[in-house]
Structure 1
């Protein structure tokens, strides 16, 4: 099932996608002239840093035994096809194509071998970052990752029952049609079950919460009018364009 949230004529609809229609409680709505919204409304968004070995090497940083995590504020959320605003004063803003895990049920103190039972499904994220404001990667990069529009998410959530292998997703990031990132989640340093077990050992996870699982190597600067397309097999493509801040 593909779960989506759309805005049509100032009204928000939630449902699941069948071909060209969103199936809602009100009936079937054709997907045209719509605004794509983030497919869930998380109470929190948790990001992982350095979860691909090659990305850690790219940045010249060492890996750690436990996941390196940060919180991404909700003001960053935008949907598929919305514009990413390039903030004034920044000189090095870049994309980060990532698999996003969406929690399906409340959980705490989850065992690693039971962790996937609490997952609703998967979607695509672009963890946009202004690297100008990262001086120490082991301190929370709140400003670097917290600008408005810095987390495109979507277009929809693909539920677990449609995923044949939850350990292997191919991630491809393109900028203006050129491939910039290619990676596979089978090379994660910290697996999805391990991360859920780790997080739930000290915080309650709620339905709709999002976990950003980290990006592969290949980051590079963006500029106004760039089009970023992130494709993850078994899910789809998330596309957003960069615009300058007014």
Structure 2
């Protein structure tokens, strides 16, 4: 099942995919363009993986990490499907990152990799923009690189974990203005999903609606104001986002 969170008629609703539209939790049927899309769950603690695809590490001239390179993201960064991401006027390089988002479904502590999938609620699509101007190095990402307001679109859907037969064999693509610019597969992760859950839960407790952003393959290039960026994960969803400038939020 695909589920979503949307704002409609002044209220926030849980919704499911329904005959090309949405069925709200009160039974009303609405079109996808009639609602404001929110993230499919309210993010709690969010873990983001750096350099988790060997081809992406290579294109940045970095060695692949020998243990997961993880940093945290604040909830202020998250927006939904069809929303707008700010590219500040002073930055010179801001790129998208198509990622599979793993949503934790229950408390997890000291989980062994063979049990990891039992703790997953579902999967979604994330686009984890990075502003390279402020990057110290890929092992110390400055807060201004990855924790900007509006810089992490997520959605549209959460797909139930039981409906994803093999999350480690999904195609990822990014199109900018309808041009294919990024293509990869989750099979190329350096640290797979069970390894990440085992690693994180070995030293801290994971809770429901914690999210793991599992990294991005090669192909990240600069974006410009006006670009329409579509990140897609096979079987999970197609996430649409538009880059805007400072004047969009000032007007």
Q: CA deviation at 1:244?
A: 0.1
The count of residues paired between Structure 1 and Structure 2 equals 246
Aligned-CA RMSD value: 1.2
The residue number in structure 2 matching 1:16 is: 16
Quote the Cα distance in structure 2 between the aligned partners of 1:65 and 1:113. Answer: 21
Q: Secondary structure at the match of 2:196?
A: helix
Matches of 1:45 and 1:37, distance apart in 2: 16
| Correspondence for 1:199 | 200
1:24 is displaced (CA, Å) by 4.3
Q: Which stretches in structure 2 are left out of the alignment for 5+ residues?
A: none
Distance 2:46 2:160 in 1: 19
- TM-score, reference length from structure 1: 0.96
Q: Unpaired runs of 5+ in structure 1?
A: none
Q: In 2, are the aligned partners of 1:70 and 1:141 still within 8 Å (CA)?
A: no
Deviations 1:197-233 (A, max 9, x none): 1011112111111110000101111110000001111
Alpha-carbon distance, 1:21 to partner: 4.5
After superposing the two structures, state which structure 1 stretch, 167-176 or 203-212, moved more: 203-212
Q: 1:223: which partner in 2?
A: 224
Query: How much has 1:79 moved relative to structure 2?
Result: 0.2
Residue in structure 1 matched with residue 7 of structure 2 by the alignment:
7
> Does 2:235 match 1:234?
yes
C-alpha distance in 2 between matches for 1:174 and 1:122: 20
Partner of 1:173: 174
Deviation by residue 1:78-120 (Cα, 9 ceiling, x = unmatched): 0000011112321101100111101111111111110010001
Q: TM-score, normalised by structure 2?
A: 0.94
Deviation at 1:11, TM superposition (A): 0.7
